[in-house]
Chain A
Amino acid sequence: MPLSKKRIGIVCPYGWDTPGGVQSHVRDLAEYLIREGHFVSVLAPAIDDENLPEYVTSAGRPIAIPYNGAVARVLFGPIAFSRVRHWISQGNFDVLHLHEPAIPSISLLACWAAEGPLVGTFHAAAKRQKVTFAVAPFLEPVIEKLNARIAVSEAARETLTEHLDTDAIVVPNGIYASLYRDGTLDSRWTGNTVGFIGRFEEPRKGLSVLIDALPSIIAEIPDIKIFVAGPGESADTVKDMQPSLRSRFTFMGRISEHEKANFLASVGLYIAPNTGGESFGIILAEALAAGASVIASDIPAFDSLLGHGEYGTLFESENSQDLAAKVIELLKNAEGRKAIAERGKVYAQAFDWDVVADKIYDVYQMAMVGGTGVTLSSENRAWNKLLGRQS
């Protein structure tokens, strides 16, 4: 990276205190850029104003709205808009990086209010929807202000092209590959085992698909064991299960980063049976980096992350029978499994922050050609003058 230090503003549309892929991406990116010596300020909605990292500015409390089949914690409204404007005018930024500027939250407001070098990152990968076409005429004049667009996956790029008729550069989400590169085998987890990490209580994480597939798998592989890591009440999940199935499950609660690396390196298979609502699948990238052989549902984000099956096995989403067949096939074929996992491990190095952050910074540089910084949008400025508001 170059020697010149830049002032970078990043806008995160979702509540900072709620866990999520976009939030972690923004956090890691901001911290990486700060370590590189840049000045970074993140604007995000937050429930708890007190315990925010130094580089985060709260834009107010997020509002929970149903969006795209899930609950999104976003923020908009006149107060939020004036805070966004204030943050932009005070920030004196060289470049502004807006995440998910096409959803109704502060990124969209910032895109509306700002002018100058703007970069947008699109995370969502959704199927063709009529609703989006209805709002496209409104979104287009806003989105077209972005100097550069980044999509986190091929699937997200296709979504963008289809819905908003604009192209994007693909830069994936980042992981700290070095954390996962050297996991050691732990005999607790090796053998005919399947690992799962995540908030397993959420239906869209798809643990039930695996539970439904289990009887068929047991018939072929009697010593199969399932290890589940992640926060949640395991009692609720297993209470409807037959005792013979229940005994296969081990719930481990949250595990540390170090344990996670060993866990991923040890398990026979890592599974991600998510039924949707996934924008990138960072956990799969981490699993690949740790050398796990991976099986995942064929939702768009996973399909594109796993190179259409090149670096991990895909099964038809929500189809337990297909899942069972694929798991049996993989667990019986240690050689083939290893070959895919080895390819995957090499491939996953491309997700390392050292690579990803450099690429993102390249995009910043391209957006910054011309040398003017970020200012409040001129048409707003004229109208604010007229209405006597201070800009």
Chain B
Amino acid sequence: MKFIIALFVVALFAWYLSYSATRLDRLHHRVETSWANLDGLLQRRAAIAIEIARSEISDPASAMLLTFAAHQAREASVRDRSQAETGLSGALGILIETATEISGEIEKDLIRELSELTEKIKMAIAMHVDAVTRTQLVRKKAINRIFRLAGTAPEPVTYEFEGDVL
């Protein structure tokens, strides 16, 4: 009898371990997906920023600032990424605030595309931040730490995009 109970407990524990591992795996996958999504949108924004720098909207000084910020954002490592992107947001913000009259179809299209992208980036950030915090929370649970259920998956990096995307 005792043996059966012991067997049952072990089986239950094994199930719980496999369940926790699946859960963590799924969360890591969610972080990867949401990051891929955010990264794609940010890359597109950097590309638009460079186009804006080359367009009629920018004066030479802001063109330089913008190009610099855009390249920095593209080349930043994951950990420095949010700071670099905030820099690009700032550079774009200054330009759009000070640009008095935007004429020309290409320029208007660029600005429209940028504002649509900004909306999407806001959503993507919210999705990614949520995935990251949730994953970090679950990784911290004792059972996951003791049995190293996260395996070799890297700890997700918190993204400090302070909601100031323009």
Residues of A within 8 A of B126 (CB): 167-169
Tell me the minimal C-beta distance from B10 to chain A in angstroms.
16
B19→A366 contact, CB < 8 A:
no
B22 with A378: CB separation less than 8 A: yes
Q: Chain A interface: which size bin?
A: 20 to 34
| B129, CB-defined interface residue at 8 Å | yes
- Tell me the residues in window 100-152 of chain A with beta carbons closer than 8 Å to chain B beta carbons: 115, 141, 144-145, 147-149
B37 in complex: contacting residue of A169, A369, A378, A382, CB < 8 Å: A369
The answer to whether A169 and B123 have CB atoms under 8 Å apart is yes
Q: Does B26 contact A (CB under 8 A)?
A: yes
For B47, what are the chain A residues with a Cβ–Cβ distance below 8 Å?
A: none
Q: A147-B33, A379-B19 in contact; A362/B129 too (CB < 8 A)?
A: no
A147 to B38, CA, bound (A): 13
- Name the A residues within 8 Å of B40 (CB-CB): 369
> What are the interface flags for A360-386 relative to B under an 8 Å C-beta threshold, 1 for contact and 0 otherwise?
001100110110000000110010000
Q: Which residue of A lies closest to B35 (CB)?
A: A369
Partner of A166, one of B120, B123, B134: B134
Interface digits, B1-35 against A, CB 8 Å rule (1 contact, 0 not)? 00000000000000000110011001100101110
Distance to closest chain A CB from B6 (angstroms): 21
| B37 pairs with A362, CB closer than 8 A | no
Does B36 contact A370, Cβ atoms closer than 8 Å?
Answer: yes
Min CB gap B43→A, angstroms: 13
Chain B residues 25 to 65 lying within 8 A of chain A, measured CB to CB, are 26-27, 30, 32-34, 36-37, 40
- Per the bound structure, the CA–CA distance linking A133 and B15 in Å amounts to 25
B124 at the binding interface (Cβ < 8 Å): yes
Q: A367 CA to B33 CA in the complex, in Å?
A: 8
Q: B134 contacts which chain A residues (CB < 8 A)?
A: 144, 166
Q: Which residue of A lies closest to B137 (CB)?
A: A165
Give the docked Cα–Cα distance between A307 and B32 (Å): 36
| B130→A363 contact, CB < 8 A | no
Instruction: State whether B124 touches A144 (Cβ < 8 A).
Output: no
Are A145 and B120 in contact, with the CB atoms below 8 A? no
- Whether A370 touches B33, Cβ cut-off 8 Å, given contacts A166-B130, A167-B129, A379-B19, is yes
With known contacts A166-B130, A167-B129, A379-B18, A145–B36 Cβ distance under 8 A:
no
Query: Cβ of A369 and Cβ of B33 under 8 Å apart?
Result: yes
Q: A residues within 8 A CB of B131?
A: 147
- Which residues of A, 153-188, contact B by the 8 Å Cβ criterion? 166-169
* CB neighbours of B19 from chain A (8 A): 379
Across the interface, A366 reaches (CB within 8 A) one of B26, B32, B123, B129, namely: B123
Given contacts A166-B134, A370-B36, A378-B22, contact A148 B120 (CB under 8 A): no
B contact residues around A166 at 8 Å (CB): 130, 134
How far, in whole Å, are A362 and B41 apart by their CA atoms in the complex? Answer: 12
Does B127 contact A115, Cβ atoms closer than 8 Å? no
Interface centre among B27, B36, B120, B127 (most CB of A within 10 A): B127
Given the interface contacts A369-B40, A370-B36, does A167 sit within 8 Å of B130 by beta carbon?
A: yes
* A144 to B139 CA separation, bound complex (whole angstroms): 13
Question: In the docked arrangement, what's the CA distance between A382 and B27, Å?
Answer: 19
Bound-complex Cα distance A169 to B18 (A): 32
**A148 touches which of B36, B119, B127 (Cβ 8 Å):** B127
Instruction: Choose one: A147, A168, A363, A379; the contact of B30 (CB below 8 Å).
Output: A147
Q: Bits for B118-144, please: 1 = Cβ < 8 Å to A, else 0.
A: 011001101101110010001000000
In the complex, which residues of chain B have a beta carbon less than 8 angstroms from the beta carbon of A145? 26, 30
Give Cα A382–Cα B18 distance, bound, in whole angstroms: 10
Minimal beta-carbon separation of B32 from chain A (angstroms) = 8
Q: Report the bound CA distance from A310 to B66 in whole Å.
A: 38
Contact of A379 among B22, B124, B127 (CB under 8 A): B22
| CB <8 Å contact, B123 and A363 | yes
* Cα–Cα distance between A75 and B11 once the two chains are bound (Å): 32
* Residues in A neighbouring B129, C-beta threshold 8 A: 167
User: 6 A–B contact pairs at CB < 8 A?
Assistant: A145-B26, A148-B127, A167-B129, A366-B120, A367-B33, A378-B22
Given A147-B30, A147-B127, 9 extra CB contacts under 8 A = A115-B26, A144-B30, A147-B33, A149-B130, A166-B134, A167-B129, A362-B119, A366-B37, A379-B19
Which 6 A/B pairs are nearest by Cβ-Cβ distance?
Answer: A369-B37, A370-B33, A379-B22, A169-B123, A366-B37, A167-B130
Q: Please give the residue numbers on chain A whose beta carbons come within 8 Å of chain B beta carbons, in ascending order.
A: 115, 141, 144-145, 147-149, 166-169, 362-363, 366-367, 369-370, 378-379, 382
Contact residues of B with A, CB < 8 Å?
18-19, 22-23, 26-27, 30, 32-34, 36-37, 40, 119-120, 123-124, 126-127, 129-131, 134, 138
